Amino acid sequence: MARRDPHSGIRWHWTTPRAQDILRRRSLPEILAFYRHLNQLPQEELGTLLGYSTSYISRVETGSRTITDIGALRHIAERLGLPPHVFGITDDADGDHHAMIQFGESVLRLAEIARQAGQAAAAVDELWPLVARLEARAADGHTDTDVLRLLARARVGLGVALGHVLPEERLATAARWTGKGVAIARRLDDRALHAHALRHHGNELRKAGLHHAALERLGRARDLSHTPDDRAAAVILLARAAGTAGATTVFDEAVAESRHLLDTVSVTPLFSEFTLHEVQLRGLAATGRVPGAAELLERAPVPGFQTSPQWRIISAITAGQILLRRGDQDAAGEQMRAALHGAELHRLPHQVQRVIRASSGLPDVREQAQGTLTRLRADIAA
């Protein structure tokens, strides 16, 4: 069997549960033995890697020789792709590590606030440099689970933000970023993070038109969810994807579960009576039940204080589509124009593209939407 290259890409071997148990004990003999076993290295080759003799490595592994010199421990950590604090070294480098984690958490919080406030472009501006910095650290061997968890969340957050600001023909880019977040999350033995990443990846796959893959990811996210709040977030997105895909049974079941969860979970920008109404409205129309959608439209809830600008815009377009199919062109045009104003203000080109597709019977609205899309494309290219 071919040996793995210990210095290629992200060093996943330090993220496994067994490796994390060994690292928590800070036992140098165990760490060296684990590294040799994983990379199929004899003591002689490990000695060459670290600059020690075979007999010295043997004595360290058996515990008959203890290394306490900080410089030597730092050297070993660097060669094995470990942060110095694994060996209890708390100096400026370790402080930099903790500062990086705190900084990254702050950026993620600010980016999420910006996105929910309708400023997804600002969220992208915050997240790009964070992702680049974390990926550089991971490539250099800084593969603590806290760094990798942060990187997974940053990749997912970047993908979600890009999914707001990119036009439809480029939404695969957003899905690729959320997928890169899933690639890390699934290897970290962190069920909540894995569900979070799958949830957002599934939603971006839906937007990119990959309906079967979206349903699969969102179904897994639902099944992995530990808390009612996480399950609600997955189920409403599953309902949304099922409606788009025309999967009537999955859609109806997900809507019913979402309705049940409304009484037990916290209201969020994603999960509320308002957002569920929009998801159900669009799904009914997409699964061929326009009369039911028209009836539901008359019972539209008032958006709450947590309703994001994006959801208000999405809802206005959906309402316009139903009104147009009902023959009420004036009311439909009013909804579409309101959506266009919001989509341009918040730089949401794919929502403008939804208006273009939906407004074939409203030539004035369609012309306005095409002009709006041209301006947004110019902004993206600038």
What does the alpha-carbon distance between residue 351 and residue 122 come to, in Å, rounded to a whole number? Answer: 18
The answer to whether residues 335 and 316 touch, using CB atoms and an 8 Å cutoff, is yes
- 1 confidence band (pLDDT: 50, 70, 90): very low
- 8 confidence band (pLDDT: 50, 70, 90): very low
- Per residue in 119-156, pLDDT tens? 999 999 999 999 988 888 777 666 678 889 999 999 99
Q: What is the pLDDT at residue 91? A: 60
Q: Is the pLDDT of residue 9 over 50?
A: no
- 105 confidence band (pLDDT: 50, 70, 90): very high
Burial of 288 (0-12, 13-18, 19+ CB in 10 A): exposed
Q: Is the pLDDT of residue 19 over 60?
A: yes
What does the alpha-carbon distance between residue 121 and residue 85 come to, in Å, rounded to a whole number? Answer: 36
- Per residue in 69-84, pLDDT tens? 888 988 998 888 777 7
What does the alpha-carbon distance between residue 90 and residue 80 come to, in Å, rounded to a whole number? Answer: 18
CA separation (Å) from 136 to 93, 156, 327, 375? 16, 17, 56, 35
Place of tokens 């997974």: 152
Contacts of 299 (CB under 8 A, 6+ apart): 277
Does this model's pTM top 0.85? My answer is no
The answer to whether residues 294 and 286 touch, using CB atoms and an 8 Å cutoff, is no
Q: What is the pLDDT at residue 26? A: 84
Q: Calculate mean pLDDT across residues 291-303.
A: 92
- Cα within 13 Å of Cα(166), Cβ side: 19
Fold (topology level) of 12-87: 434 Repressor (Amino-terminal Domain) (1.10.260)
Nearest Cα neighbor of 104 from 70, 129, 69 is 129
The answer to whether residues 325 and 290 touch, using CB atoms and an 8 Å cutoff, is yes
Domain map (residue ranges) of the chain: 12-87, 96-209, 227-307, 313-382
Q: Is the pLDDT of residue 99 over 50?
A: yes
Q: Is the pLDDT of residue 174 over 90?
A: yes
The CATH code that applies to domain 96-209 is 1.25.40.10
Q: What is the pLDDT at residue 153? A: 97
What does the alpha-carbon distance between residue 289 and residue 362 come to, in Å, rounded to a whole number? Answer: 23
